[in-house]
Amino acid sequence: MHAGIIFLLVIIGSILFHIFTPWYWTDIASNWKGMDDTITLTFWVGGGVFVAVCLFMIYCVFRYQHKEDRRAEYKPEDKKLEKILTWATTLGVAALLAPGLIIWNQYVNVPKNAIEVDVMAWQWGWQYRLPGKDGKLGTTQVRNIADNNPFGINPDDPFGKDDIMVESDVINLENNRPVKILLRSVDVLHNWYVPQFRAKMDAVPGTVTFYWFEPNKVGEYEVLCAEYCGVGHYAMRGGVEVQDKADYEAWLGEQETFEQLSARYEKLNVDGNKLAKK
């Protein structure tokens, strides 16, 4: 008897916790509301099944408690019931899978007008690069990376010259404009993750991965590394600032291109050499 009551309280407690929880997802700041909706749908269907199964179990515990003079029913199989349950479950699962796959299809197909952002990860920090006026990022190679070329851009690649180098671990994004995040890593796995955007993907050394989203709420967000990357993993934070078009363009104008950066280093070198000669 007591057992059934405690189990019942556990189920009621779970439902109440879900209704009154102060811990729930952060306000969404991107286009991936479909993910939230699918979670909500799964919650209703899955939660319903959980509660139904547990309540049935608790009913059995109350109703069919052991009595010496009673016998259980003897019925090894019930083909019809098993068939109904199989098909009902299959339908339920299909109903959950369908929206999941539809949204995944959107997730892996990047809109044509998305602006590319090159996110380069290293132990333990982030760097960003944007395409210049030509709208194309220059090709890169890990071996080219140096002080005067933090992204390892191929010096011969004409597309690389006007690439915009963001010298900060905070990247600014334009509100309501889709971004394609290109992820690279120079050492180990990382993952550029902003909870409010919902989306994430690992950065894998040796290859370029991607995902996209469209920020739709002006504000500042924290970037977290979401793939374990060694002892500094928990401290590997960065930032995003989503701005309106005007603010964003003002910010963009202040950034240095790869050509300017190279020139600055060359001048530093020349000055350095002069100093050394003196």
Partner 1 sequence: MSDEYDNNKSYQAQSSEVMDGSTGSVNPDIDYVRPSEVGEQELYHPHSFIEKWVFCQDAKVIGVQYFLTAVFTGVVGLILSWLMRLQLGFPELAGFMTAEHYYQFVTMHGMIMVVYFLTALFLGGFGNYLIPLMVGARDMVFPYVNMLSFWMFFVAVAVLMASFFVPGGPTGAGWTLYPPQTILEGTPGAGMGILLMLISLSLFVIGFTMGGLNYMITILQARTRGMTLMRMPLTVWGIFTATVLAMLAFPALLVSAIMMTLDKVLQTSFFMPTILKAGEVLEYGGGSPILFQHLFWFFGHPEVYIVALPAFGIVSDLISVHARKNIFGYRMMVWAIVGIGALSFFVWAHHMYVSGMNPWFGFFFATTTLIIAVPTAMKVYNWILTLWRGNIRINVVMLWCLGFIVTFVNGGITGIFLGNVSVDVPLSDTYFVIAHFHMVMGIAPLMVIMGAVYHWFPLVAGKMLDEGLGKWHFWITFLGAYSIYFPMHYLGFIGVPRRYFEMYDSPYMTSAVGMNEFISIAAFIVGAAQFILIFNIIKTLKTGKKAEQNPWKANSLEWYTSTVPPEHGNFGDRLPVVHRWPYDFSVPGAKEDYIPQTTAPSEVIHTEVEKT
The answer to whether residue 81 forms part of the interface with partner 1 (CB under 8 A) is: yes
Q: Rank residues 94 and 276 by Cβ distance to partner 1 and give the closer one.
A: 94
The answer to whether residue 20 forms part of the interface with partner 1 (CB under 8 A) is: no
Number of residues that bind partner 1 (CB under 8 A): 99
* Residues near 206 by beta carbon (within 8 Å), at least 6 away in sequence: none
Q: Among residues 80, 143, 277, 278, which is the contact residue for partner 1, using CB under 8 A? A: 143
Q: Rank residues 111 and 135 by Cβ distance to partner 1 and give the closer one.
A: 111
The answer to whether residue 114 forms part of the interface with partner 1 (CB under 8 A) is: no
The answer to whether residue 54 forms part of the interface with partner 1 (CB under 8 A) is: yes
Tell me the CA distances in angstroms from 194 to 20, 108, 238, one per residue in order: 25, 18, 9
User: Nearest distance from residue 50's CB to partner 1, in Å?
Assistant: 5
User: Nearest distance from residue 20's CB to partner 1, in Å?
Assistant: 11
Backbone angles phi, psi at 229, to 5 degrees: -135, 30
Burial class of residue 181, CB neighbours in 10 A (0-12, 13-18, 19+)? buried
State which amino acid sits at residue 76. Answer: P
Give the closest residue to 47 by CA, choosing from 55, 59, 36: 55
The Cα 25–Cα 114 span in angstroms is 26
The Cα 158–Cα 209 span in angstroms is 23
Q: How far, rounded to the nearest angstrom, does the alpha carbon of residue 154 sit from its chain's CA centroid?
A: 29
The answer to whether residue 273 forms part of the interface with partner 1 (CB under 8 A) is: no
Q: Rank residues 11 and 170 by Cβ distance to partner 1 and give the closer one.
A: 11
Q: Rank residues 214 and 227 by Cβ distance to partner 1 and give the closer one.
A: 227
Contact 159, 250 (CB under 8 A): no
User: Nearest distance from residue 202's CB to partner 1, in Å?
Assistant: 5
The answer to whether residue 193 forms part of the interface with partner 1 (CB under 8 A) is: yes
Q: Among residues 148, 168, 209, 216, which is the contact residue for partner 1, using CB under 8 A? A: 209
Place of tokens 């006007």: 162
Q: Among residues 5, 15, 86, 134, which is the contact residue for partner 1, using CB under 8 A? A: 86
The answer to whether residue 25 forms part of the interface with partner 1 (CB under 8 A) is: yes
